[in-house]
Amino acid sequence: MGRGKKVGDGSETGRPPRDSSTSLKRRALLFLDSASGSRGARAAAYTLGILFFLIIVFVPPVFGILLGGSKIFEMLSHPDLMSRGGSAIAASFAIAVTVSLLDLAAGLPMAWFIVRSRSGWVSTIDTLANIPFIVPTVALGYSVLAFWSGPQGIGSLLGSQFVFSPGWQTIVLLHFAFSYPVIVRVMVGALQGYKEVYETAARTLGASPLTAVRTVSLPLLKPALVAAFLLAFARSLSETGATVMVAGAFENGPVFIRNARAAGEQSPLLFVSLVLIVTSSLFFIAIRILAPKMHLPISTVRPNLEKRLSSTPALMSRNLLVFLVFALFVIVPSLFVVLPGASAITDGTLQEAVASMGIWSKYWQSMGLSYLIALVATCVNVVAGLPMSILIARRRGGRVVSGVLDTLINIPIVVPSIALGVSIGIFWGGVAGISEFWLLVFAHASITYTYFVRSMIAAVESIPLEVEDVARTLGARPLMIFRRLTIPLSKYSLMAGAIMAFTRSIDETGATLAVAKNLTTAPVLMVDWVKGTVAASPHAIGLGLGILVLTSFVSLLVLTITTRRT
């Protein structure tokens, strides 16, 4: 039997003999690598991940409210409060559902354009569609308020009958604007991963483009449509700071809670928070279960009508409408804050700001606090969230456990953040020695955890299992696979997830409003400025918000640069 030449020698298991010349760092790595080979070590890491999730992220926001005890139900004996609270909750859901459906209708064609069009405008439109992401929601709130309700906004363009006074209409307009990029991003991702061959097959069988999309592509994209809907819904239900700015006298859930807190009324605060937590969680789980069973209408066929609707003039007018909606209801309102901000540069407000005079000293303090909290919360989430991501993505705990965890991690973003904050406050309130700063960090960590973990899960799931299989058979222990394969291959999503969590934290108003007594973060301060709780000129507000937008923009720029280089 011809053995042939061999290229060296090795020990029984194929590993070379160790000698004393190996460096300390290498020995440490080798030790850790082989330690990760033990099932026990890995189980410990996953268990710690799950414990962190439960203790910090999940239990306090969802169950903490129950510690409020009997005080919660005092409100039941006040019928006028009950009706006010009831209408606020109903309003929250009504607005959230309406806005999400409107956003789907407006955002889906936009996503289609971005992915399928060959026009040179695509990358510009793609970047523009992200603007509401970049602009912090408080700035967005003020911008929308100024555009739709202010004297210099749409009124000056089209006449005063188009001006809306602050109320549910402005809430709808605000929520439409900030949920729009969510829909577009999710659908763009889904479309890019969608195999166009199905649509092509439908067309070779005689289906017009519209028929093919309606009967083949949309049904196949249903999971993405549902996910996009739920995300937009969650955002609308949860948002507090900007909603407070534009609500005027109207109340939805978060506004009601904020008013109750400001007035010092405990029971309405607790009760409505509890109801919101329960209903939003149930709604989310219900949609998750029912959605796969829902069928889009695909069996009816109207070939002639759909052929005419697929024609070039029909297509162009559709695109025109989509862009018009985009411009008028998303872009312009988002950027409107630039105007007062620009004036602030010329009239001396800027010098005051830089010199930290008057209201500005508190401003810089709150900015610093916001960034510090965001940094700490994000770091904590990255470290604790990594084992969880792998656990869920690779189903390490078994299919059932991973499935349950996969659903549970979404709950903190479905529950309105102010209700979440109330619950967290009560939970940790009993624990002595927790400073307000750490309370805020926990609240922010809880809210932003999901953003990071979901991003990592998607990244890990996209690494083909075979890559890990091969690495294992080549002798790599789990930690080495993690270091040399998983992390490098998911670097982009890791950074993206971390930045998303970071910016979400900067943005956060709801839970902060509920938890903080003495500390003030930047966006909360901005709400005070706008509502007049703290006196500030429109130019100061514009400048303050403008700086917030700028710093947010810089963080996102950092993301783009660092991830592009990899």
Which is nearer to another protein, 42 or 185 (by Cβ)? 42
Contact (Cβ atoms closer than 8 angstroms) between residue 213 and residue 133: no
Structure tokens at 304: 């002639």
Which is nearer to another protein, 3 or 517 (by Cβ)? 3
| Distance between CA atoms of residues 267 and 238, nearest Å | 20
Tell me how far, at minimum, the Cβ of 287 lies from another protein, in Å.
Answer: 19
DSSP 8-state assignment for residue 18: P
Which is nearer to another protein, 251 or 306 (by Cβ)? 306
Count of H helices and E strands in the chain? 33, 0
Residues listed for the chain: 566
Tell me how far, at minimum, the Cβ of 206 lies from another protein, in Å.
Answer: 5
Tell me how far, at minimum, the Cβ of 202 lies from another protein, in Å.
Answer: 7
Contact (Cβ atoms closer than 8 angstroms) between residue 84 and residue 275: no
Per DSSP, the residues of 135-190 read: S-HHHHHHHHHHHHTSTTSHHHHH-GGGPPPSSHHHHHHHHHHHHHHHHHHHHHHH
Contact (Cβ atoms closer than 8 angstroms) between residue 526 and residue 114: no
CB-side neighbour CA atoms (13 Å) of 191: 20
Which is nearer to another protein, 118 or 517 (by Cβ)? 118
Tell me how far, at minimum, the Cβ of 480 lies from another protein, in Å.
Answer: 6
Structure tokens at 158: 């089209």
Per DSSP, the residues of 72-103 read: GGGGGG-HHHHHHHHHHHHHHHHHHHHHHHHH
Which is nearer to another protein, 211 or 505 (by Cβ)? 211
Which is nearer to another protein, 105 or 205 (by Cβ)? 205
Q: Evaluate the CA torsion angle 481, 483, 486, 488 in order and state its sign.
A: negative
| Distance between CA atoms of residues 88 and 256, nearest Å | 7
Tell me how far, at minimum, the Cβ of 485 lies from another protein, in Å.
Answer: 6
Tell me how far, at minimum, the Cβ of 173 lies from another protein, in Å.
Answer: 36
| Distance between CA atoms of residues 341 and 350, nearest Å | 9
Going by C-beta distance under 8 Å and a sequence separation of 6 or more, which residues neighbour residue 88?
251, 252, 253, 255, 256, 272
Which is nearer to another protein, 210 or 418 (by Cβ)? 210
Which is nearer to another protein, 137 or 208 (by Cβ)? 208
Structure tokens at 4: 């042939």
Alpha-carbon torsion angle 433, 435, 441, 444, nearest 10: 100
Closest by CA position to 378, among listed 494, 491, 482: 494
Tell me how far, at minimum, the Cβ of 24 lies from another protein, in Å.
Answer: 14
Tell me how far, at minimum, the Cβ of 223 lies from another protein, in Å.
Answer: 11
Tell me how far, at minimum, the Cβ of 16 lies from another protein, in Å.
Answer: 5
Contact (Cβ atoms closer than 8 angstroms) between residue 260 and residue 276: no
Tell me how far, at minimum, the Cβ of 475 lies from another protein, in Å.
Answer: 4
Grouping H, G, I as helix, E, B as strand and the rest as coil, residue 66 is helix
Contact (Cβ atoms closer than 8 angstroms) between residue 352 and residue 360: yes
Tell me how far, at minimum, the Cβ of 456 lies from another protein, in Å.
Answer: 17
Tell me how far, at minimum, the Cβ of 313 lies from another protein, in Å.
Answer: 15
Which is nearer to another protein, 308 or 484 (by Cβ)? 484
Which is nearer to another protein, 197 or 431 (by Cβ)? 197
Closest by CA position to 407, among listed 286, 236, 229: 286
Question: Residue 426: what are its φ and ψ, rounded to 5°?
Answer: -70, -40
Which is nearer to another protein, 201 or 434 (by Cβ)? 201
| Contact positions vs another protein (CB under 8 A) | 1-10, 12-16, 18, 22, 26, 30, 37, 195, 197-198, 200-209, 211, 215-216, 219-220, 301, 303-304, 464, 466-467, 469-477, 480, 484-485, 488-489
Tell me how far, at minimum, the Cβ of 294 lies from another protein, in Å.
Answer: 12
Which is nearer to another protein, 4 or 120 (by Cβ)? 4
Mapped to the 3 state alphabet, what secondary structure does 202-254 carry?
HHHCCCCHHHHHHHHHHHHCHHHHHHHHHHHHHHHHHCCHHHHHHHCCCCCHH
Which is nearer to another protein, 4 or 532 (by Cβ)? 4
